[in-house]
Every structure is written in structure tokens, then in C-alpha cells.
DNA sequence: TCTTAAACGAGACGGTACGTCGGGTCTTGTG
DNA sequence: CACAAGACCCGACGTACCGTCTCGTTTAAGA
């Protein structure tokens, strides 16, 4: 497809040199993405309309269609553009603690403006598989990779069981807050913590009483 | 408004006697619900349109608007009408086994036509809180109540820890499959089982090695 | 076709009684036609746009499309609505005089606002045969019928040759002014007169010198 | 603008020598004209689009705009390029016969591909006076000049009246077929002949019964 | 049996957004 | 310079649904 030619954001266009014709305006691209992000944030989904984005961004409707033939793609790209670098968290010696920290960060993200956008992306994705793919690829996977690394560190240090089913575990930890988001239920840190405790309590190398999980110290010795 | 007067399905119309004028036609109601269900099932969301429902059911658009002012309400009611009595499962002596059985049943439901509708309901719910409420109330809660009962039996029998955070646990068990549904990922029984094992392994009264969880016999003796 | 059902203007709807549903609003119809006529008159063709008509008339675009799926039909109907009763002329004893009188009236019409609309209709008709048909049927034919009657009177009174090729004659008399209209050339009465003289001079029962045609008295006696 | 500088086709570029920069490509010009002619011929007006011409000719849209700022100009030039030398007809001793011959030739032209283009030109001309001017200048005038010459020969030879109103006569002879063209009505030779007979019967020096016009021999002697 | 009041079918209507087409202008090249 | 390529803005197109609004016609239950 010529999609690779046109959608520049992905990857490094290894053909650095010429593309014939007038080059794509980056100012245009950004103002569209910003407008999309804002509309999604403010009016959430109902107000998120190509027409609206065009109006607010001052970009012609046709231009928007040229680059984002699907609304979902636009939402997703606007989302990534605006929130990509937000998730960073400190690493401690305890995998459980790290895990919880990341979960809390993610929860915070969902509580904020990004939450509305994720809902929008998922909704759009119901009609368009590519949007879902972009969502999984661009948002879920990175988070999962990071989480996987944390758990691996836990295993390596002996804090966590070595026979963890990571995939299942990650689902159990991350899905609930996304579903709550979609259902409009609050996602506060206390709830996240208790979920983490409940799920992680069976994953420690040294089984403990649930109360102890909460303080989850790196296991013995050290 | 006198919605209570008009929306009959909810609750027992305690005024059993008179309503002046022509009574509501049940045939009409049912053919609308059936049409809605079918459209949602076939075309999923994109095809689910008041106009379409009217056309297929042969009911006037106005009539539909009279009884279901929100599309989500229509979807939800059509869903319940068609799938309400589907979830039944045998009870064994093992809470873990029962839990897994119910999860598998639920997964089967989501794999089927009902899955598409649930997506539809959630999507509509993004715009309309009442739809979400009806979804939680009419679909999620019953399932949760049942699951709670199972877990309680497990606690009573000594199979499960008495200090379970049931709410968190249920989220961990049920959310992942709903999210997978929304993301278009497959929900097979094996995946459901491994999720259940992972989550439940920390909930047993007698901590076990993960492998053992799978066979999870009732702890006998005690 | 159900066109007969929908397009009311033609003939007397002999089914006087019921049509189900909300009846068509005549106010709407008229304000659309008026707007169309005005736009065509003012901006002539370039400004004549469904969008423009909708804006000026205050009628929804969809409503316009419902009743006039072709722009030409709208133009034509607006034209007839506004100018139908305009062509009336006195009858004298001389067929030649009557003919010239009608030609002058027609020329006056073309010089006025109606002229622009006729151009519009013909232009639209290039894309849509129905528009052309409506134009011929609704505008040209009536004029031709009237002219035929005049000529017939001339023949009956002995003023004109009995072997006239009426069809050809009418073309020769009427086409030039329409073509001039389309070419933006002026259509003044003197020009019309000289055309009539030139064409009619060969049609008299008593051939005359061209100068005499102008005064063309009924040949009396015989 | 320096249109005079740019539009070369008209007149002899009296600066015979060099113009700075790359010279205009004649191949380009011709392939544009050809494409325009073809499109106009095939799809007639609806398909005749700058974009389409660019696509078919393989010439960049900008280049087309540079040389033919109006669509009508393009149509007209393409038309002349393709059909200019087509109208030639033999001269006989009878002006009436010559006239009819030329009319038939013209009718044939209109029946063919050129007819569609003339319609296109006239349509475009409704928006742009220059196109109309070019049409009159480039197509109508030459034909009229030729016809005028024929009639003059007729007068000189005594076949036709000396007091003819040539301008009116030409209108009466030529307009009808052009109008028929625009109205989509057929223009067959028989029709053309009967029109000519009707119009010309009053123009002969020796008035005749209509039947005689048809054989219209040069009057004198015999 | 005859009101009477609501349910119901039909469809016009004003809207909003859609996705597309074409028209022009501009901004980059390259020849 | 001419030309190719193509991004961009713009206006209009015709369509799909939406939700509201008039109508006329059932259809029971209460007078």
C-alpha cells in the first residue's frame, strides 16, 4: 500500500530524499491532532466529529480525510501525540511496589483527559479493526512490556514465583480499570491497590497472608 | 415525565387496573425488540439504527421513540429479552470449580451473538449514563451476585480464605474477558481457565503451588 | 410511478380524500420555488445552488431534495410558478399582426428575469433529459399551440397560404430569439419584427414585396 | 495579466525570436486539447472536467490552468482544433441549392461529435462571456460569412430578392438547428430541407408556389 | 352503544454529519 | 521558465439518520 508512503509518523522513512510535490505541512497536521484531542477531551465522543475538528483546527475537511480516513485513526494519533511520554515511574527494589506504582500511574492517566480519549478510541474501534489494532499496538503493548519487565525483575530477584502466567496476570491487573473507565465508575488509588493486592497475593514466591502483601518487602535475605 | 407510567417492563405496575385509551400492544413491543436484537447481532452497531429497526419490525418510528427514547435502552432491553435466562450452571462441591464453570459459561455467552450486543450497549452507554446503569444493573449485577454466592460457599466450606476482597476479585475475574471482547480478541476456554488459575491461586485458604490450583480439590478435613 | 402522487402541481389530484401522514406544506414549497427563482434571476446559474436555495428559503436541504431531486426540475417549476400567466395578447383581425404581437411578448419575457431562468433550465437540461422534457412541455408547447392557432386563423381567413409547414415556420420564428438569449445577444423588438417580416413574407397567400409585408393587411375580398 | 504574452494561439507572435526559459511544449498543448475533445465527446459536459482532462492527457493540472484559465476556452480551442476544416461544400449555379447544401453539412456536423461540444461551449459560456465570444467569433461568424456570400451570389444572379434582410434570414435558417441540438431533438436532413424551403420561399425574386421552391431553378431565362 | 383517550402508522420537516468531487492556489521539486 | 506532483482550502454535492411534528386510523375501556 502507499499508506507507508503517506503516513509518516510510523517508523523512519528510510527514503530520506525526495518526494515529489508539495511536502505535507506539519503545522496542519499538528493543529488537526490538537483540535481532535481537545474535542475528544471536552465533549467526549459526541462532539468528536470530523466537521468539528475541521472547524476548530481551521483545516479543510478534505485535508483531514486525506490523512485520517478513519475517525479512530485520528483519535488514536491525537491521543498518542498528546500523552505518549507521560508514563514514567521510579524503580524500587520491590517488584510489587513497582507494579502498584505503575498501576496507580495508569489509573491517574485514565482519570484524566486521556481516559475520555481511550473510550473514544475503543468505541470507534468497534467499527474499525485498524483502530483497535493501533490502540493495542500503540498504547496497550508498551504498557504491558513495561509491566512484564517489572515482573521479570521480581522473578529474578526471587520475590515472585518463577512460574507466573504473565499474560493472564497482566490482564487481571489492567483490564479492570479499563472496564471501569468504560462503565463510568471511579478508579481511585485505593481501589487499584486493593485489586493489586488481591491479584498479586498469589504470585509471591513466599505465600503470605493477604495483609502482608500490602507491605510486600523484598523476600528474606537480600 | 410519567415514565414510570409508560415504561412497563420495570417493576410490577402496581396500578393493575385502568389506563384510559388504547393499551400498549405487546406484539409491537416484541417485534421491535426482536428486530433490534437481530440488527445488533448481524450488523453490529453500524447497522443498529432506529430507522433500521423500524423498517425491519414494521413498527412506526414514532412508536419506537415513544417507548425507547434512547437507543441504548432499546439495545439493552432487546438483549435482556433474548438472553436473560441463559446463564445457569451446576453446582459442585468445589467453589473454584464452580467459579471456573461460570466463567466459561460467561465466556461462551460473549463469544456468541450476545457479545456483539454487549459491545453495542457499552458504546451507546458512552453517550448515555442510563444505558450504562441498565447494563450494570441488568447484566453485570446478577452475574456478580451469583459469583459472590459461589465464593461465599467456598469461604464457608473452608476452601477459600475468609478475608477475600470479593469486589476486587470479581473484577479481576470478569473484566478481562469483557475487555478482550471489546478489543476483538478471542475468548477461549483455555484462556479463561488460566486466568482463573492465576487469580484464584492466592485466594485459597491453603496456599498451593500453582500447578495444584488447577486440580483444586476442596480442602477436605480442615 | 409515485411521482404523480407526489408532484401535486400537475392536474387535479382526482383522489381528493386521504393521503396518510403529515401533508406536504405548501408554504415550504412556495418559499423554495420563490428562492430558486430569485437566485436564478439574480446570480443566474452560478449562484443557483441547492445549498443556496435552502439557505435563502429557510427550508432544509433534505426537504428540497425530497421534492426536486434534479436541479433542473426545481428551476423549471420555479420558472412556471412565477411566469406562467404572463403571456396573453390581444387578437386582431390580422394573423401576421397577431403573430408579431406574440413574438414581441415572448421577446419581452426573454429580456426580463425569465430569460436567465430559461438559460438555466437549458443548461441543466444538458445533463438531465427530464428537465428538457419539462421545458418543452411546460414552456415551448403552450407557446407553439397558441402560435399554431394564430396561423390557422390566418389560413382560414385566407390571409396565409394554406400549405404552410407550420412546424418549420414556428421553428424559424421562435428559435432565433432563444439562441440569441443563450448567446447573450440583445433581443429588441425591431430585430424581432424584421425577423418576422423576413420569415412571414413567403407565407402570405398573396405574395408581396417585402416592404408591404410590414403593413400586412388582411387580404380582404379575395 | 500578461495573457497576451502567454496565450500564443491567437495572432502571430510578432516577437519571432527567443523567450527566456524553457519554451512551451507543443506536445503538451495538443494532448490536452485532444483529451478535452474526447471527454467532451464521450461524456458530454458532465465528464468534462479539468481534473479529468489532466488525468487523461497526463498533463499536470497546473499546466492546464496556466494556458486555459477558463474551461470554456479549453473546450472551444479543442473544438476548433478538431473540426475546423470540416465545412466545405461545392458551389452550384443555384444559391438556394448551395444554401441547402451548406445547411445539410452543418446539420451533419451537429449530429456528430461536434454537436456535443457546441452544447458544452454554450453551457460554459453562460458563466463566461469570453467563451461565448470565442464561439461566435470562431464558429458562427465563419459560417455566416460563407452563407452571406452564397446569398449575395443569389442576389447578383437575380435568383434572390435584392432587398433581403440577410441578418434575419441567417438567423431564421441557422438558429433552429442549434436550438434543436440543445433540446436534444433530432436534426435530420428532411427537417433541414423543409425549414429551408419554408424560409426561403419568400426570398426569391420571383415569388413561387411553395412546391416550386423545392426545385428552385435559377429564375431568369428558362 | 357510544364516547374518549391513548396507541399506532405514515410521512413531512428541520437538522447534523457524512464522505466525495471538483475548482483553484500554493509550494516543492526537476529539466 | 515550463512542467509534474501533490498538498491545501473551499464550496457544493447527495445521502443517512436523527428527533420532532402533524395528520388520520385503530382499539379498548368507561360513560
Which residues of chain C lie closer than 8 angstroms to D199, CB-CB? Answer: 168, 172, 198-199, 202
- Nucleotide F8: nearest residue by CA–C1'? A63
Distance A20 CA to E30 C1' (A): 9
- C65 CB-to-strand F distance under 7 Å: yes
pLDDT in the model for residue A206 = 75
Which residues of chain C lie closer than 8 angstroms to D211, CB-CB? Answer: 163
pLDDT band with cut points at 50, 70 and 90 for residue D175: very high
pLDDT in the model for residue A221 = 47
pLDDT in the model for residue D20 = 74
Exposure of D48 by Cβ count < 10 A (0-12 exposed, 13-18 middle, 19+ buried)?
buried
pLDDT in the model for residue B45 = 85
Find the mean pLDDT for residues B3-26: 58
- Indicate if the pLDDT at residue D1 is higher than 80: no
Q: Which nucleotides of F are covered by protein (CB under 7 A)?
A: 1-30
Contacts of A among chains (3+ CB pairs under 8 A): B
- Hey, which of A128-137, B18-27, B197-206, C57-66 has the most confident mean pLDDT? C57-66
Three-state SS for C160? strand
Share of chain D above pLDDT 90, in %: 55
Question: What are the backbone dihedrals phi and psi of residue C143, each rounded to the nearest 5 degrees, phi first?
Answer: -65, -40
Say if the Cβ atoms of B199 and A125 lie within 8 Å: no
Question: What are the backbone dihedrals phi and psi of residue C148, each rounded to the nearest 5 degrees, phi first?
Answer: -55, -45
Dist. CA C114–CA C80, nearest whole Å: 9
Which residues of chain D lie closer than 8 angstroms to C210, CB-CB? Answer: 161, 163, 165, 202
Determine the straight-line distance between the first and last CA of chain D, rounded to whole angstroms: 63
Say if the Cβ atoms of A183 and B135 lie within 8 Å: yes
- Indicate if the pLDDT at residue B6 is higher than 50: no
Which residues of chain B lie closer than 8 angstroms to A172, CB-CB? Answer: 172-173, 176, 195, 198-199
Distance B189 CA to F13 C1' (A): 51
- Measured CA to C1', the nucleotide nearest B19 is F29
Three-state SS for A204? strand
Distance C16 CA to E1 C1' (A): 32
Dist. CA C137–CA C84, nearest whole Å: 13
* Nucleic chain F contacts, protein chain D, residues 28-57, CB cut-off 7 A: 28-29
Which H/E stretch holds residue A57? helix A50-57
Per-residue pLDDT reduced to its tens digit, D48-88 = 999 999 999 999 999 999 999 888 889 999 888 887 665 56
- Would you list the DSSP string of D70-114? SHHHHHHHHHHHHHGGG------S-HHHHHHHHHHHHHHHHHSHH
- C62 CB-to-strand E distance under 7 Å: yes
- Indicate if the pLDDT at residue A109 is higher than 50: yes
Share of chain A above pLDDT 70, in %: 82
Which residues of chain A lie closer than 8 angstroms to B164, CB-CB? Answer: 198
- Indicate if the pLDDT at residue B200 is higher than 50: yes
pLDDT in the model for residue C44 = 79
Find the mean pLDDT for residues D127-150: 91
- B145 CB-to-strand F distance under 7 Å: no
Find the mean pLDDT for residues A16-45: 89
Which residues of chain D lie closer than 8 angstroms to C122, CB-CB? Answer: 182-183
Find the mean pLDDT for residues B70-99: 83
pLDDT greater at residue B199 or residue B81: B199
Per-residue pLDDT reduced to its tens digit, C61-79 = 999 999 999 999 999 999 9
Lowest mean pLDDT among B201-205, C197-201, D173-177: B201-205
What lies within 8 Å, CB to CB, of B54 at 6+ separation is B60, B61, B64
- Indicate if the pLDDT at residue D210 is higher than 60: no
Q: How far is C187 from chain D (nearest CA, A)?
A: 12
> Under a CB-based contact definition with an 8 Å cutoff, are residues C203 and C142 in contact?
no
Lowest mean pLDDT among C170-174, C178-182, C193-197, D44-48: D44-48
Find the mean pLDDT for residues D145-161: 92
pLDDT band with cut points at 50, 70 and 90 for residue D128: confident
Chain B touched by A158 (CB under 8 Å): no
> Under a CB-based contact definition with an 8 Å cutoff, are residues D36 and D75 in contact?
yes
- B85 CB-to-strand E distance under 7 Å: no
Dist. CA B192–CA A76, nearest whole Å: 29
Chain D touched by C112 (CB under 8 Å): no
What b/e sequence results for C177-216 when a residue is b if at least 16 CB atoms lie within 10 Å of its CB, and e otherwise? Answer: bbbbbbbeeebeeebbbbbbbbbbbbbbbebbebeebeeb
Where do the domains of chain A lie, and which CATH numbers do they carry? Answer: 23-69 (1.10.10.60), 85-215 (1.10.357.10)
- D59 CB-to-strand F distance under 7 Å: yes
What b/e sequence results for D70-88 when a residue is b if at least 16 CB atoms lie within 10 Å of its CB, and e otherwise? Answer: bbbbbbbbbbbebbeeeee
Cβ atoms within 10 A of the Cβ of D133, count?
15
pLDDT in the model for residue D127 = 86
- Indicate if the pLDDT at residue C98 is higher than 80: yes
pLDDT in the model for residue A212 = 47
Q: Compare all CA atoms of chain C with the CA of D204 and give the residue at the minimum distance.
A: C202
Chain A touched by B119 (CB under 8 Å): yes
- Indicate if the pLDDT at residue C212 is higher than 50: no
* Nucleic chain F contacts, protein chain B, residues 1-60, CB cut-off 7 A: 17-18, 20-23, 49-52
pLDDT in the model for residue B209 = 52
Which H/E stretch holds residue B2? none
pLDDT in the model for residue D205 = 76
Per-residue pLDDT reduced to its tens digit, C122-169 = 999 998 898 999 999 999 999 999 999 999 999 999 999 999 999 999
pLDDT greater at residue A120 or residue B90: A120
Say if the Cβ atoms of A169 and B198 lie within 8 Å: yes
Q: Of the candidates D144, D154, D151, which has an alpha carbon nearest to the alpha carbon of residue D93? A: D154
- Indicate if the pLDDT at residue A6 is higher than 70: no
Q: Of the candidates D124, D127, D138, D131, which has an alpha carbon nearest to the alpha carbon of residue D82? A: D138
Chain D touched by C198 (CB under 8 Å): yes
pLDDT greater at residue A219 or residue B47: B47
- Indicate if the pLDDT at residue C97 is higher than 60: yes
Query: Residue D17: CA atoms inside 13 Å, Cβ hemisphere, count?
Result: 1
Three-state SS for C24? coil
- Nucleotide F26: nearest residue by CA–C1'? B22
- Would you list the DSSP string of A135-195? HIIIIIHHHHHHHHHHHHHHHHTTSB-TT--HHHHHHHHHHHHHHHHHHT----HHHHHHH
- Nucleotide F21: nearest residue by CA–C1'? C22
- Indicate if the pLDDT at residue A105 is higher than 50: yes
> Under a CB-based contact definition with an 8 Å cutoff, are residues C50 and C71 in contact?
yes
pLDDT in the model for residue B77 = 93
Find the mean pLDDT for residues A55-60: 97
pLDDT band with cut points at 50, 70 and 90 for residue B215: very low
- Would you list the DSSP string of D112-135? SHHHHHHHHHHHHHHH-HHHHHHH
Please report the beta strands in A8-49, taking only residues with DSSP state E, as ranges in sequence order.
Answer: none
Find the mean pLDDT for residues A118-145: 92
Q: Which nucleotides of E are covered by protein (CB under 7 A)?
A: 4-31
Per-residue pLDDT reduced to its tens digit, B157-198 = 999 999 999 999 999 999 999 999 999 999 999 999 999 999
Find the mean pLDDT for residues C181-197: 96
Output the CA torsion A132→A133→A137→A139 (10° steps).
-10
Chain C touched by D4 (CB under 8 Å): no
pLDDT in the model for residue B82 = 83
Looking at every residue in chain B, the average pLDDT score rounds to 84
Dist. CA A188–CA D5, nearest whole Å: 74
Site from A106, A175, A205 to mutate, B interface, most B CB atoms within 10 angstroms: A175
Lowest mean pLDDT among B25-29, B57-61, B90-94, B152-156: B90-94
- Indicate if the pLDDT at residue A79 is higher than 70: yes
pLDDT band with cut points at 50, 70 and 90 for residue A85: low
- C21 CB-to-strand E distance under 7 Å: yes
Find the mean pLDDT for residues C72-94: 81
pLDDT in the model for residue D96 = 92
Say if the Cβ atoms of C195 and D171 lie within 8 Å: yes
Amino acid at each position: 500500500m502507499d499508506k507507508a508512503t503517506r503516513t509518516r509518523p510510523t517508523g523512519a522513512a528510510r527514503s530520506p530524499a525526495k518526494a515529489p510535490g508539495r511536502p505535507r505541512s506539519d503545522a496542519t497536521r499538528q493543529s488537526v491532532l490538537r483540535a481532535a484531542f481537545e474535542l475528544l477531551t471536552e465533549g467526549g465522543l459526541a462532539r468528536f466529529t470530523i466537521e468539528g475538528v475541521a472547524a476548530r483546527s481551521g483545516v479543510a475537511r478534505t485535508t483531514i480525510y486525506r490523512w485520517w480516513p478513519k475517525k479512530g485513526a485520528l483519535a488514536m494519533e491525537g491521543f498518542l501525540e498528546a500523552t505518549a511520554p507521560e508514563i514514567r515511574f521510579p524503580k524500587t527494589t520491590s517488584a510489587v511496589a513497582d507494579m502498584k506504582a505503575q498501576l496507580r500511574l495508569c489509573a491517574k492517566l485514565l482519570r484524566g483527559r486521556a481516559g475520555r480519549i481511550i473510550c473514544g478510541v475503543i468505541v470507534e474501534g468497534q467499527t474499525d479493526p485498524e483502530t483497535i489494532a493501533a490502540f493495542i499496538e500503540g498504547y496497550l503493548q508498551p504498557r504491558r512490556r513495561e509491566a512484564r519487565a517489572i515482573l521479570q525483575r521480581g522473578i529474578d530477584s526471587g520475590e515472585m514465583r518463577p512460574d507466573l502466567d504473565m499474560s493472564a496476570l497482566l490482564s487481571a491487573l489492567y483490564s479492570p480499570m479499563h472496564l471501569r473507565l468504560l462503565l463510568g465508575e471511579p478508579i481511585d488509588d485505593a481501589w487499584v491497590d486493593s485489586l493489586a493486592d488481591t491479584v498479586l497475593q498469589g504470585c509471591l514466591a513466599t505465600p503470605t497472608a493477604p495483609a502482608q502483601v500490602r507491605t510486600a518487602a523484598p523476600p528474606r535475605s537480600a
